[in-house]
Structure 1
Amino acid sequence: MIILQLSIKNFLQYQWPLLLAFFVPCIILSVIYIVQGVYPFGNSSLMTVDLGQQYVDFFSYYRQTFYEDPSSFFYSFSKSIGGDMVGLWAYYLTSPFNFIFLIFPQNQISLAITCLTILKISLTGLSFGWLLKKSFNGHGFILAAFSISYALMGYTIVNQLNIMWLDGLIFLPLIAYGIEVLLSEKKGLLYSLFLALALFSNYYIAYMICLFLIGYFFFRLLGMSYDSNLSLMKKIKLNLSSVLLFFWHSLLGAGLSAFLLLPTFFSLLESKASYTKLLFDWETSFPFHEMLSKLMIGAFNFEQMPSGYPNIFIGSLALLSFCFYFFNQSFPLRERFFGLILTLFFIVSMNLKAFNIVWHALQYPIWYPYRFSFVVCFFMILNGFRSFMKMEGLRPLETFFSVILLAIIGINVYQNDYDFIEPIQIIITIVFSLLIIFMLIIKSQAYKWLLFLFFLVTIVEMGTNAQINLSRLSYVKQNSFSTYQHLLNTDISSIEDRDTGFYRIEKTFSRSKNDSFQTNYPSVSHFSSTFEKEMPKFFGQLGLPVGDGFVSYSNGTLLTDSFLGIKYYISEQNELYRNSLNETNLLNKLPLSEEKKQNKLINPDFQLSLIQTKPDLRAYLPFKESDKTVIYENPYALPILFGSDRNILTVEPPNNRPIQFQETIMRSLAGLPNKTSLFIPADFDTIVYQNIAVTQSFKNQSYVKQIFNEEASVTFQFKPKTNDSYYLTLDPNIKEEDVTFYLNGIPYTQYPTYRDVLVLNLAHLNKDDTITFKIALKKSRLSLNNFDLYRLDQDIFSSIIKKLQKNNLTIKNQSNTLIQGTITIQPDQELLFTSIPYSKGWSASIDGVPVETKKALNSLLVVPIKPGIHSVSLKYQPPWLKEGVILTFIVAGILAISHLLEIKINNKCDCND
């Protein structure tokens, strides 16, 4: 016990600056979260923007992978209709700190996010402090002050919602420490290991670190000092050996991560990298002087997220010390000159679009601009610390120019009138800067209390900046999230208790496009940066809202629901769907469930966020309801595998004709002749104009308000002659901000259009009812293109489904990476059609014999097969995974040998000396 107490005492005596570097950011953030009422300190949560729309769902999936199904690490049917997951893991989930999600239950995922955010930012300060202590003689309060500046810099606070990027900030100082060891001891093991760890944690941010390290290494190499007795040739050889070691160990560091990077690279070729266009724009994004605004305290608001200036706030102490670095003669002139070149390069990179796109892996970022600015902040803070440690104190001339420059910057920022900076922020920034200047003037007096004062001022300034920035974010209510989570879990459990087979589930509402990850069910909607490009393209051709990286299944038809295997639909309680069920309304016979009672108690004010209006739900059978939702079963849903005609291989998606594409797919699957029509063009009976002038004729018409300040609308009316479903195609140029839709006088919910012609459902089981579709103009003009009405022939559709459902599929073994079963192929069928995205990772065997897979509809997996009863096996293995694992083992062996050789060579050199 005494030994333990002495050990703790010694640890605290020598490591207290590092403890401050860790715990001060931890305490500051905790206090801010308490003030902001962030859960568990209130009813707010950090789940806003992408953290709420993507990451929180992926974190739930992370837990499910470890606790329920490890195969989903490689592939998951929760990712749209199926997709490779290695790339998604590499971008979002491979952080070693994510283990924290295994500790918390799923219903406390938001609390886990709060804890993880605080932990990562605190570790950022600790790792920077470690670098200062081990490589730059850092100690005491000044080590803690600069470490806190790094942990709470503007970049960290603003981007803490992108929680997976914070790993790069933690590992960058450790990588820099590895470079210091490489330069001083000629040993690159630590550098390779830390670089590999950064690449493993988040390759995207690690890519930016790698670019930075090229310049940083040569900067530090130029700052190396050698014995004056060494000859010029010897110095050149030493520098050359350091350069070779740097590049050699950089390759080894990348090679250690090959088991993840190689399959991720393949995944990127199919997703994020496929959007890359090598177009270099040599224009600047803004006048250079406007970047000065981000040096002000609290220089942030929500508008800075989608398109703003680089986040380079690092605090007065670090910034002023960095500026004085270039005039500090304690450092070699060659080093300071190269440091100036690097600094100018960084400034240009944060403005010149051509350089900016290179930093972002040849893709302009969507939201969160200048994501690499953390390396610029690291460079400034580190060299600010080095400068401070060798600074005797400010001379009068330095003081004079510092104050003049500070005044010029303050006046410039004030005159530009930025919407994210109030005059008080400028005043506070100047006050902190003047205080730091004064303390630097008296630094030469070596007062014992002065270093503590630097530390105290830094805490107040960085804490104030963090509080201002975080107070300008909109926080999602925790009780709304937890209520939705409970409601969805309950509904999904009801479906799983009813049906243990493979099927997909969709909803008329959503919290995010990744709800399927939150509750672990196969779906269609999805949003991620690693989404395969072919999927949004395919669903856009079917008439769904899509974009680069997302699909929203909010415009499905009876046809798409069928061949995609959407067997269950969860809808909000909606009289539009209930009233027309008439005598088949099973809901009238359903008892009030326990879930319905419970949901009332959880959050009675909770409202679902609707994404579609879907009258054709009346074609499905309701079997369960709660206070908020109704669950329907789709009798037309096809299995994930079924026999098909070979004609599907020849189908080419038409441009902007989703109805025709859907019809061709179903007709080809069933082997019907081209003259068979499922969708029959229909006409509106009447069109009613209110305050509208029609400026064009026929289908491509423009409608213009006659009196601008009064309401204006166009109402289309028709009376269905059958109970079939009616669908309307809508041009994507009509945006949410342009119009409001109404169906039979009730607001029509439609996910905001994006880039493809959409398909809207207007009626089902509405024979002889008058259907009105009203478009209310929000702006002065509206143009309607591709505005066509169609009737689905229910009889032909039903006959096709009955034919395709005769395959008698029996799945015997099923996981995310393996599907095995038996199937009966009809005499006129020669193809096994699947609603699985085509990928080279899928292999197939029929009756134990390997069969080459093919691609249908430019996107889906199909397998040639003969009529009869067959055993079928589909197996997925991520492309290049095996090669990546082998390469990692080889590189690990090479690194071990290389390290031993470096030790031997260094020992030999020491003996010669």
Structure 2
Amino acid sequence: MQKKKQRWALTRRQLTLLGAFLTPFLLMTIYFIYRQMAPFGTNSLLTVDLGQQYIDFFAYLRRAILHDPSSIVYSFANGLGGEMLGTWAYYLLSPLNWLLLLCPGASLTTGVFLLTVLKYGLAGLTFAWLLDKTTQQTGFQAVTFATAYALMGWSIANQLNIMWLDAAYLLPLIFYGLYLLMHTGKWRTYVVWLTLMLIVNYYMAYMICLFMILAFMWLAVDQFTNWHHFWGQTAKFAATSAVSGLLAAGILLPTWWSLAQSKAQYTVTTFKWKFEFFPPKMIAKFFMGAFNFDQMPSGTANLFIGAIALLGSLFFFGDHRIRLRSRIAAGIVTGFLALSLCVQPLDLLWHAGQFPVWYPYRFSFVVSFWLIWLAAQTLTADFEPGWLAIAVVTVIIAIGAAYVALNLKSFKFLQLNLVLLGIFFVVLALGLTTLPVKHHWIYPLAFFVIGVTEISANAFVSLNNISYVSQGEYGNYTNELQRLVNRVQKRDDSAYRIGKTFLRTKGDAFQTGYAGGGVFSSVLPKSTPAFYGHIGSPDGDGFVEYSNGTLVTDSLLNMKYYFQQKQLSGALSGTSMLPASTNKADLASYRAIGQDHWATTYQNPYALPMGYAASDQILTLKNKTADPAQYQANWLAALTGKTTDQKLYTAKNFDQVTFQNIAQQTKITGAVLQRKNLLKPAKITLTFTPTTNDAYYLTFGSTVNPDNATFILNGKTLDQYKTYRNTIMVSAADHAKGKQQKLTIQLKKGSLWLENFTLYQLNTAKFQRAVAQLKQQPWQLTKHSSRYFSGTITSRHANQVLNTSIPYSAGWHATVNGKAVKTYKTIGMFTAIKLPQGKSTVTLAYWPPLLNMGLLISGLTLIGLTGGWWFVHRRRP
């Protein structure tokens, strides 16, 4: 009989865990099938950053592991080139990502589907496992709490931030490890799971570590016997947490170095002690469907956990079965978490000193975990709340619901019908949880039906507010770009970069495996966007896009090939699977070498090699101009050593300027155009006729952008990447001698400041002479990979350097004729090496800074732990 009970208990436990995994897994799978997500239809899960950033990193992951292991530590798809361990540590180290190896090409969206539903299922599984180990929750009730956790508002809102979802299924395991450490002194579970979290995603691990400190305080109070015991537990907690950090040092140390060059440079150092919004506004996020697109860039924390869990967490504080000191400590933790959701310095603390760019209050998953955990402690089979507790909780809920209902206009993400539906579920949950009899089989079933129905409804309603990239839009573009890249790489296996005039994402180079010029990454070194701002291409704190290259920058940056989308005619006129991102008239100076139905491939005859001998003046060049045309000229002149090359561009006047509904201006550059009649269209038309076949460029200041005006060049809307914060250069004409060029600027607002708006003519002949000079002494590569270059170069003069377009990094190590030499940073961006006169063999090899030290620390820590375990067990009889 006893064995039969044990078998039933084991089977019940297994069924509970299986149900906790399958319930969220199947619910989300069914919803995605309903939305026709690939592989079950024509849509995909790609949206916002998942579609614009992460999917490209996933494609890179497959290529790096399967085809190009050298790119694991460094990749020239990362902007103009960059280290990759920081990218791996933030985006790609989830153990589930190995599934992506099974999904080549456009089927990568199927891999994203599998990752998403698996992470939902695992979050439910691990939370149910925690409940099974630490509470009386079993069966339907445990599955209900697990589903509430797996599909909490944070998970639904951040589903697209797929790398963060690993934190959701690892947090319960880490918390159990801490629980075990505090109750039994056993430390291995805590160390193993915390170490894994630190490796998988250091960013979310940081938040979990902060939460573990709060959880430790609560558990220490709950388990308090005497101060000696307390300090012993504190020492164990500190030591085991430190051990986890040491074990993860192989990833954390090189990642720390990467962050020091990028994200850490944006850390906020000044702040004010203030509320970021009126705190009661958070209450609205406890209602279902309290999420839409506008909540992504800015909004309050996503806190939805369902009525049952919310009521249970409130009842916890009035539950006399739980020690008073434990409830008081839990109240302090809850209060701190609540203040963190609205007080600026605490918000900054959770985000490592940086205000989030989109997706605010990213740490709210620990708040939801905490509330659901409290509820699970309380809503057990023997829970019988007193009338006072019921009355207090009812009043709190009623006041919160009334506040939201009366201020509904302030919550544009909420609809009245959803508020009413939420109140209905609260009433159901309140009646259910306060029933005096809970042992009948109907109770857990009703618990499950009510809880899971509300949780599911929130997920479905919230995700219905988000639009997604179609599978065709992603797949067709990716397949065409891959075909173009494959043709060039089959033709030419040397070291070069590729530019293009169309764009799906700034990570297209990662997606299809070529050296490009764009990237969107949270670990982008600060020097890269600064450089792009100087040369006249779009940049931001976390992205660069090489959409505004000139003949000069194309040459100096080794942009040897270019892809340009075709202008289709007939019934397909104005359509293309390759959306234009720039106007590049200067492709007329390049040679067309191939084409297909959608695009033409050009070869740049002026592209310089990855390295070449140049004047050592480049080592001392300092930027003294905000004009990208002059910056480019100064850069080239420092390489050739000829001051005459500083006069590479000449500012030109327009032949004619006409104004419509705008006051006449005598000077265009810097003019403020004012609309006379606000009800009528306003525009300015400028014409010029090139007198030579030179390339002509326009500069647009940051105010001269598509948000403020429409630009029409020669009867066609000017293609231009929209987001830029510095002056950009726009290719206007090339090989157009005697052909009138007409630019029309139509105001969208009442006024337009023509900031840094200038027409420039490039002295093409002078440019060609400069390029020809630099091509005479190339670095002739005999071997090259993503992280290694080796070749010979001949220096004719003693004051020459090997100048490269390889971004500078402490990770690049150089040798000249077998001897290690110093590398130098040029123009704050690139790598150069001083050369001896004559022929030399030069190598550059990349290895991530601090990686060896990190691996050594991790290895020694692991050896120490293993040795300690062996010694202890060897002494046991």
Whether the TM-score (by the shorter chain) exceeds 0.5 is yes
Q: How many angstroms apart in 2 are the aligned matches of 1:313 and 1:31?
A: 21
Task: Answer yes or no: is 1:796 the counterpart of 2:747.
Answer: no
Task: Answer yes or no: is 1:805 the counterpart of 2:775.
Answer: yes
- Trace 1:57-206 onto structure 2 (pairs within 5 A): 57-206=56-205
Q: How many angstroms apart in 2 are the aligned matches of 1:325 and 1:676?
A: 74
Contact in 1 for aligned 2:568/2:576 (Cα 8 Å): no
**Residue number among 353, 367, 371 corresponding to 2:358 in the alignment:** 367
Q: How many angstroms apart in 2 are the aligned matches of 1:608 and 1:64?
A: 23
Code of the aligned partner of 1:426: V
Contact in 1 for aligned 2:633/2:646 (Cα 8 Å): no
Q: How many angstroms apart in 1 are the aligned matches of 2:481 and 2:186?
A: 54
Contact in 1 for aligned 2:499/2:559 (Cα 8 Å): yes
- Trace 1:290-301 onto structure 2 (pairs within 5 A): 290-301=281-292
Deviation of residue 347 (structure 1)? Answer: 0.9
Q: How many angstroms apart in 2 are the aligned matches of 1:781 and 1:660?
A: 28
Q: Residue 801 of structure 2 corresponds to which residue in structure 1?
A: 831
- Write the deviation string for residues 262-294 of structure 1: whole angstroms up to 9, x where unpaired: 000000000100111211222212111111000
- Trace 1:11-50 onto structure 2 (pairs within 5 A): 12-50=11-49
Deviation of residue 443 (structure 1)? Answer: 4.4
Code of the aligned partner of 1:78: A
Q: Residue 595 of structure 1 corresponds to which residue in structure 2?
A: none
- Cα distance, 1:248–1:832 mapped onto 2, change above 3 Å: same
Contact in 2 for aligned 1:186/1:902 (Cα 8 Å): no
Task: Answer yes or no: is 1:541 the counterpart of 2:511.
Answer: no
Code of the aligned partner of 2:494: G
Code of the aligned partner of 1:502: A
Task: Answer yes or no: is 1:316 the counterpart of 2:307.
Answer: yes
Q: How many angstroms apart in 1 are the aligned matches of 2:330 and 2:217?
A: 10
**Residue number among 248, 252, 255 corresponding to 1:261 in the alignment:** 252
Deviation of residue 211 (structure 1)? Answer: 0.6
Q: Residue 376 of structure 1 corresponds to which residue in structure 2?
A: 367
Q: How many angstroms apart in 1 are the aligned matches of 2:574 and 2:687?
A: 37
Q: Residue 678 of structure 2 corresponds to which residue in structure 1?
A: 708
Code of the aligned partner of 2:104: P
Deviation of residue 735 (structure 1)? Answer: 3.0
860-869 vs 667-676, which moves further: 667-676
Contact in 2 for aligned 1:543/1:658 (Cα 8 Å): yes
Q: How many angstroms apart in 2 are the aligned matches of 1:815 and 1:323?
A: 59
- Cα distance, 1:7–1:223 mapped onto 2, change above 3 Å: closer
Q: Residue 454 of structure 1 corresponds to which residue in structure 2?
A: 447
Q: Residue 519 of structure 1 corresponds to which residue in structure 2?
A: 512
- Write the deviation string for residues 793-834 of structure 1: whole angstroms up to 9, x where unpaired: 111111111111112432211111111112233337610001
**Residue number among 539, 543, 555 corresponding to 1:562 in the alignment:** 555
Q: How many angstroms apart in 2 are the aligned matches of 1:844 and 1:489?
A: 33
Deviation of residue 445 (structure 1)? Answer: 4.6
Structure 1 unaligned regions, length at least 5: 1-5, 227-234, 577-599, 909-913
Q: How many angstroms apart in 2 are the aligned matches of 1:430 and 1:371?
A: 27
Q: Residue 718 of structure 2 corresponds to which residue in structure 1?
A: 748
Q: How many angstroms apart in 1 are the aligned matches of 2:466 and 2:8?
A: 42
Contact in 1 for aligned 2:60/2:511 (Cα 8 Å): yes
Instruction: Say which SS state the counterpart of residue 435 (structure 2) adopts.
Output: helix
Q: How many angstroms apart in 1 are the aligned matches of 2:568 and 2:605?
A: 22
Q: How many angstroms apart in 2 are the aligned matches of 1:654 and 1:739?
A: 30
Identity %: 36
Equivalenced residues, count: 869
Contact in 1 for aligned 2:613/2:778 (Cα 8 Å): no
Q: How many angstroms apart in 1 are the aligned matches of 2:390 and 2:320?
A: 17
- Trace 1:240-639 onto structure 2 (pairs within 5 A): 240-389=231-380, 392-417=383-408, 418-574=411-567, 606-639=576-609
Deviation of residue 191 (structure 1)? Answer: 0.8
Q: Residue 656 of structure 2 corresponds to which residue in structure 1?
A: 686
TM-score by length of 2: 0.96
Contact in 2 for aligned 1:189/1:895 (Cα 8 Å): no
Deviation of residue 442 (structure 1)? Answer: 1.6
Deviation of residue 753 (structure 1)? Answer: 4.1
Deviation of residue 7 (structure 1)? Answer: 13
Q: How many angstroms apart in 1 are the aligned matches of 2:667 and 2:692?
A: 29
Q: How many angstroms apart in 1 are the aligned matches of 2:815 and 2:30?
A: 59
Instruction: Say which SS state the counterpart of residue 746 (structure 2) adopts.
Output: strand
Q: How many angstroms apart in 1 are the aligned matches of 2:343 and 2:856?
A: 41
Code of the aligned partner of 1:545: P
Q: How many angstroms apart in 1 are the aligned matches of 2:676 and 2:465?
A: 41
Deviation of residue 400 (structure 1)? Answer: 3.4
Contact in 1 for aligned 2:637/2:645 (Cα 8 Å): no
Q: How many angstroms apart in 2 are the aligned matches of 1:828 and 1:776?
A: 55
Q: Residue 821 of structure 2 corresponds to which residue in structure 1?
A: 851
Structure 2 unaligned regions, length at least 5: none
856-865 vs 181-190, which moves further: 181-190
Contact in 2 for aligned 1:696/1:702 (Cα 8 Å): no
Code of the aligned partner of 2:475: S
- Cα distance, 1:899–1:432 mapped onto 2, change above 3 Å: farther
Code of the aligned partner of 2:662: I
- Write the deviation string for residues 547-606 of structure 1: whole angstroms up to 9, x where unpaired: 001111111100000000000000011499xxxxxxxxxxxxxxxxxxxxxxx9xx9975
Task: Answer yes or no: is 1:52 the counterpart of 2:43.
Answer: no
Code of the aligned partner of 2:719: T
Contact in 2 for aligned 1:75/1:84 (Cα 8 Å): yes
Deviation of residue 700 (structure 1)? Answer: 2.3
Instruction: Say which SS state the counterpart of residue 389 (structure 1) adopts.
Output: coil
Contact in 2 for aligned 1:266/1:880 (Cα 8 Å): yes
Deviation of residue 755 (structure 1)? Answer: 1.7
Task: Answer yes or no: is 1:886 the counterpart of 2:856.
Answer: yes
Contact in 1 for aligned 2:566/2:599 (Cα 8 Å): yes
Deviation of residue 401 (structure 1)? Answer: 3.6
**Residue number among 852, 874, 877 corresponding to 2:847 in the alignment:** 877
Instruction: Say which SS state the counterpart of residue 647 (structure 2) adopts.
Output: coil
Code of the aligned partner of 1:774: T
**Residue number among 728, 741, 748 corresponding to 1:778 in the alignment:** 748
Deviation of residue 899 (structure 1)? Answer: 5.3
- Cα distance, 1:8–1:477 mapped onto 2, change above 3 Å: farther
Q: How many angstroms apart in 2 are the aligned matches of 1:9 and 1:220?
A: 32
Q: How many angstroms apart in 1 are the aligned matches of 2:419 and 2:874?
A: 57
Contact in 2 for aligned 1:187/1:902 (Cα 8 Å): no
Deviation of residue 709 (structure 1)? Answer: 1.7
- Cα distance, 1:161–1:721 mapped onto 2, change above 3 Å: same
Q: Residue 787 of structure 1 corresponds to which residue in structure 2?
A: 757
Contact in 2 for aligned 1:223/1:335 (Cα 8 Å): yes
- Cα distance, 1:309–1:675 mapped onto 2, change above 3 Å: closer
Contact in 2 for aligned 1:187/1:899 (Cα 8 Å): no
- Cα distance, 1:106–1:671 mapped onto 2, change above 3 Å: same
- Cα distance, 1:177–1:102 mapped onto 2, change above 3 Å: same
Code of the aligned partner of 2:607: A
Code of the aligned partner of 1:104: C
- Write the deviation string for residues 172-213 of structure 1: whole angstroms up to 9, x where unpaired: 110111111111211212111111100101000000000111
- Cα distance, 1:721–1:511 mapped onto 2, change above 3 Å: same
Contact in 2 for aligned 1:483/1:606 (Cα 8 Å): no
Deviation of residue 855 (structure 1)? Answer: 0.8
- Trace 1:730-769 onto structure 2 (pairs within 5 A): 730-769=700-739
Deviation of residue 904 (structure 1)? Answer: 10
